[in-house]
Each structure stands twice: as C-alpha cells, then as structure tokens.
Chains A and B, each alone.
Chain A
Amino acid sequence: MKPEQEMVTVYIMGKAYQVPAGLTIMKAMEYAGYRLVRGVGCRGGFCGACATVYRLAGDYRLYADLACQTTVQDGMYIAQLPFTPGERAPYRLEDLSPEENPLLALYPEIARCVSCNTCTKACPQDLEVMDYIQAALRGDIAKAAELSFDCIQCGLCAMRCPAEIVHYHVGQLARRLYGAYLAPRAEHLAKRVQEIEQGVFDEELDRLVKMGREELVEKYRARDIEP
C-alpha cells in the first residue's frame, strides 16, 4: 500500500474502519479483515449474492446496491443482506398455459401493489421493477419478461416492497413462460435436431474422429470462413 493513499471511514454494521478510497464495498470489508462466506458470489455483478443496504452521513435515505459493484464513500453505514426469504410458488412449467395468466394465479399478491415505485428505486440493475409487476398483473407476459430480463435476483426489491411481493420470482416465471410458449420457435433448430437423430452426420463425424492429425490440420486450414 502506498503511504499517500487516501483513506475513508466506513461503518461496517455500525463499527468504524479506515479503508482506502476507491475500493468496492466488498473489497473494503475484506480489507478491514472480513473473510466473506455469505454475501459474495461472482464478484462481478451477475449473481445477486452481495445485496447491501447503506446510509450516508447527513442523508435520511436508505440506499440499496451490490457490494461488488459499489465504491465506498466516506461516512457510509453498511449492512449486507445474507439471505432473502421469499416464497416461491410450486409449479411445473408444462402444466401452465400463458393464456390464463399464471403469474397472477400463482402470485396473487401482485394485485396488492400500491404503485409506490420503491422496488424500482431499490434495484441495482436499474430495472423498471414496478412496471414489470404491473405488466404481470395485466397478464402482459412478454412485457414482464422483457422488463425483468436483466434481473440478477438479488432480492433488494422484495425486501423493500410494502406489498410484500417477491418480484424476482414473478419475473423468473414470466421469462420462462415467454421463452417456452410465446417466443416463436426456431424451425432450423428442430430440423437440425431431427437430422442428427436420423444419423445424417454420423458418417462424416466418424471419419473425422478417426482422421490422422496431418489430414485434420490440412482440413482445418482449408475451412472457408462465413463472412
């Protein structure tokens, strides 16, 4: 560590620590001596394991963000959420039909949404969370799927929602319904699967598997590249 490094004070669960400015909340906790087990997963903003809430000195607001993607600020009060309890409805996708709005049937509490937009403000992915819940309520599965697509299921919206909705489960089901039932099927894919099952490529693959290295290298070099 360079001696001239600028330090800031952060309060990890209320206790003050001096950490170098510019670290993420996650790295600041480690710098302070925490060996993380909970509250850490991908370390890259993809898994939602590191949901964290914080307050700043002189500011009444409660902020929510990802510990691995948020830089510490001087005077920050930090608490990680190790786990989000959230009831997930039991279902088998093959038993559902998108026409009957299974989102509302399985998660009737979405009708309790009071449109306060707290979920949207809490979302570290900047998703329009309230809008996807409203779309789910209307039975607009495609919209709910599209708006929730970047959801990393961190649970921060659900922890803040006064209507006690578990948004990320609703979004998950919306996307699976869309992908399985509403998105147009890829016909070329079904055709290729059929060809493979019929053994159309077997002979050629057999030949390649047995081919000597030299011939294989030659064939590899001679490939034409699709523009």
Chain B
Amino acid sequence: MPHEVADLLEAYPLLDPDSVDLKQIDYDVDVLVIGGGGAGTVAALWANESGIPADRILIATKLRHGDSNSVMAQGGIQAADKESDSPAIHFLDVMGGGHFANDPELVRALVRDAPMIIHWHERLGVMYDKEPDGTMVTIHGGGTSRKRMHSAKDYTGLEIMRVLRDEARCRGIPVVEFAPAVELLTDRKGQVAGAILWNLETEQYLVVRAKATVLATGGWGRLHIQGFPTTNHYGATADGLVLAYRVGARLRDLDSVQYHPTGAAFPEQIVGLLITEKVRGLGAQPVNRDGELFVHPLEPRDVEAGAFIRECASKKAGGREMGVVTPTGMVGVWLDTPMIDIIHGEGTFKKNLAGIFRLYSRFGIDPTRDPILVYPTLHYQNGGVAIDASGWTGVPGLFAGGEVEGGVHGKNRLMGNSLLDYNVFGRRAGISAAEWAKRVKLGALTLAHVERYIEALREAGVPEDRKAPLLLPDYRGERALARMVDLL
C-alpha cells in the first residue's frame, strides 16, 4: 500500500485514552453514522426506513452535511435498466474493470440493486436526464459494454446528494457537523459501541454511545499519494481506514490507487480538478502536442491514465515526451473539447456540461472553441475496509458503505459505479445496522482496543510523533508556518 497510508495506519491516536471520561455520554443512540456524504445519508435513511426512529439515529460529520466527494460527482451513475442491458452484463463489466480481483458477492449486490436505487431516487425527486417520454438518457462510460450511465446534467452527484440530504431533513434525522470521529468505542466483548467525536471549533471531545455504527467516511484523495493533485473534497483523508484498522477490521486492495486520466492541468487555479469522463463520452479525444490521438478515448481508467503519463513523461523516464508544457511547468495532453459541439450540434456542451463550461469560463477559457489541457489526478480509493454483501465489516456492531469499503471494484473502479456503490452499500449497511441495533446488548464502554494498539506501536518502535487520523490536510504557506508559535 502507499506509504502515505501506511504512515497513518501505523500511528498513535490523537486522543490519549486516559484523558477521556467514558461515563459522561453526550449522545446515546441506536445507530451512529460516521460521515455525512452520500453513503452516510443513505445509511441513515434506510436505518430509519427499517424502523429506527429518526431521533435514535445520529449522523456525525467532519464538515457540513453533504460537503463530500458525493456532491462533486459529475458524470453519472450506472444501472442496467435498459432492454439491451442486464445485471449480468453489468456484472461482467465491473469484474473486468476491476481486473477480476473484486469480491463477486459484492458485485452481485451492486448490479442487482442498481435499478432499484435509481427507481428510489426517481420517487424521491432526483431530476435524472430523460427523453420526453420518460426514458432515461444513458451513455457509455469507460469500460462499459452497454450505455447505462444515467446523469443529471454534469451535476449528477450534486443533484443526488441534495435530494438525499433534503429527505434526511424531512425526516428530522439529527446531524452534528464539524465533529469528526477520532476513535471508535467498544464494549468489553469487543463489540463496536459508538465513537468519540471531536468538535473542530471548540476542540472538545464528545462521547457517542451507539448500538450499531456505520462507517461512511469516504476516501483518501487529500493524502496526495505520490505527490499528485486530487479531485477530492477537503475532508477525504482516510480517517475511516485508521479507525477501522485499530478496531481490528480487515482492509483490502489498498495497493490500488485510482488516478483519473483527465484532471485539469491548466490554468493553475484549477489544477487537479476533475474533467468528467462524460467529456470523452460525448466525443472529445485526447491528443498529444502534434494533434495525434495516442490512445482509445474510453479505456478503463488505469489504462487511460497510464497512456497519458507515458505520453507526457521524459524519454529518460521511459515516456514519449509528446505532452504540452504549461507556463507553470506542468505537462499535459490536449482534450479536444470543441469536437463535442461539432459532433452533436452547437449548444450540446453548454447544455450537458454546464459545470465544466462554467469552470473554464471563470478563467477566460471557452472549451467549445479551444481544447483544454489535462493530466491524471488522484481520484479514488479502489480498496478499503472489507465487508460482506450486507455491509458488515466482520467486527461486531461495525458496518461500512461507500468509498471507505473495498472489494466491490477490485483493483479499479469504473466511472458511475461508485455513486452506485454508496447507494447500494450505504443502504445495505443502514439496514444491517438497524437490525443489529434491535438485537444487541451493550456492555460498558471502553477504549481497550486503542490501548492495545498503542502498546503494539511502542513495541514496534513507531515514532511517537506520528498521529492519526489526519482529519484535515494542511495547506498553510511555508512562510506563515515558519513563524507560527502556539501562545494561547
């Protein structure tokens, strides 16, 4: 696995277990959901649907409810709901995309639930792109053999997240914002029994006792693995992996990092931001500085990103030196965006890619006239916490859904399958957590697993200044940091 991740897993807790009073409980609930992105919100809705009253659920999240990777998704969500398609064909695409390293039981759940999820969204009021007769508009994505990418313009993630969050508000599900989980709690039997949150603003810790806990903390983009820029939101710092690992959950496929082939390489203000795959789906081709098409535009992401890096890398590093150098020294390849209106007619770009159009026009670039420069960017955590098809992690009382878990996508996720993943496994984790909460008897709260972990770290001689979870990246300027002192 990347050393950026290993360093967080082999690190001391932020909070000294001895300084915490576990007798004073701040929140006492049936189901605690950690992470207020897509997976967490879906889990809370389905825990509620499964009979847990809204006020016995708590969503704890690091930033605001919905500030997440989920809100940023542009391209779309897959589901085999057309006549020409079937869950079985979807299954093959997912397995092939993941290099057959996926857990087939999880893939079955993913593809089987997919149409039901879209149907649920439709009834909740998600405005999917449709033909006048109601037929879903669907297109290809990288690695799909059928056109099954559903979208809501290029704000698919925003639209779904907005609706889910609104529904959670309709039901009165409590949310505590700016309160990331910094540790899980267990009882004497080792059952997960809630978490310790930390109020980012007042810097107090809060004890949550919960009969069942759902981990939905998303991915790791803000670790900037191998120094890459990222598409991810500010809170994507792999906290869930750290918490789960300490409590004994199994992690898988963390060796596999997804770089999205098309991150913005210019202008400087938006470097790393995502240029959705839909741009290629609609006909824009990647070309090198001589205008040659050097790779099929819609290979699976790992293949496509590899081809971009090779095209740009120096000859010494084994590359072809055929990229374009920007004024800040970054290298990229052209993405021939004007093709889209040329193929599909004037106005197609603005209508279907309003977000991308807006992104560039803010900086004086018109992507319908001029091609744009792109380079791979750190995008997705392919692996994560191992789960079974019910969203259970194997640790009693701990469930997981969304980008934090692994196994669904094997070694490489296809576009449109992770919005689907957070819905399918967010839902399954929420239902399983509700069922568990109805049955379980909890004992007294402890941090015994953390104490044991500290001992193991000491034995292994891990440097004491290494702390995790990370919670937020630090982008303060070097000059400012050099003179920073803690006086108050």
Contacts and interface: CB of A to CB of B under 8 A. Distances in A.
Interface of A: 1, 22-24, 27, 30-38, 40-47, 49, 69-71, 88, 90-93, 125-126, 145, 149-150, 152-153, 172-173, 175-181, 183-190, 192-193, 196, 201, 204-205, 208-210, 213, 216-217, 219-220, 223-226
A42 B72 contact: yes
A51 to B, nearest CB: 12
B475 A30 contact: yes
Given A43-B233, A187-B134, 20 more contacts: A31-B477, A31-B480, A41-B234, A42-B233, A42-B234, A46-B72, A46-B158, A152-B158, A175-B125, A175-B163, A176-B163, A179-B163, A180-B123, A188-B136, A189-B136, A204-B88, A205-B111, A210-B104, A216-B95, A220-B92
Interface string B126-168: 1110101111100010000111000001010111001100110
A41 B125 contact: no
B355 interface: yes
A192 B115 contact: yes
16 contacts: A41-B63, A42-B71, A42-B233, A45-B358, A69-B269, A93-B167, A149-B153, A172-B162, A180-B125, A184-B132, A186-B130, A189-B118, A189-B119, A189-B136, A208-B104, A226-B147
B92 A208 contact: yes
A188 B100 contact: no
Interface of B: 63-64, 66-68, 71-72, 80-89, 91-93, 95-96, 100, 104-105, 107-108, 111-112, 115-116, 118-119, 122-128, 130, 132-136, 140, 145-147, 153, 155, 157-159, 162-163, 166-167, 169-171, 178, 200-201, 231, 233-235, 268-270, 273-274, 354-355, 358-359, 362-363, 472, 474-481, 484
A35 B92 contact: no
Contacts of B234: 36, 40-43
B72 A44 contact: yes
Contacts of B481: 33
Contact of B134 (A24, A32, A186): A186
A137 B200 CA distance: 40
- Closest CB pairs A-B (n = 10): A33-B480, A176-B125, A184-B134, A41-B67, A179-B125, A180-B125, A31-B477, A220-B96, A179-B127, A30-B475
Contact of A22 (B124, B126, B135, B269): B269
A205 B91 contact: yes
Contacts of B166: 172-173, 176
A176 B87 CA distance: 28
A150 B475 contact: no
A188 B81 contact: yes
Contacts of B93: 223
Nearest to B84: A226
Given A24-B269, A69-B362, A180-B123, A219 B130 contact: no
B81 A186 contact: yes
B266 to A, nearest CB: 12
Given A41-B63, A41-B233, A153-B162, A46 B157 contact: yes
Nearest to A19: B477
Contact of A185 (B63, B134, B153, B200): B134
Given A208-B88, A226-B147, A37 B201 contact: yes
Nearest to B140: A226
B124 A176 contact: yes
A45 B359 contact: yes
A213 B233 CA distance: 36
A214 to B, nearest CB: 10
Contacts of B116: 193, 196
B100 A213 contact: yes
Given A71-B269, A145-B127, A176-B125, A47 B71 contact: yes
Contacts of A24: 269
Given A23-B269, A93-B124, A223-B145, A47 B66 contact: yes
A209 B95 CA distance: 10
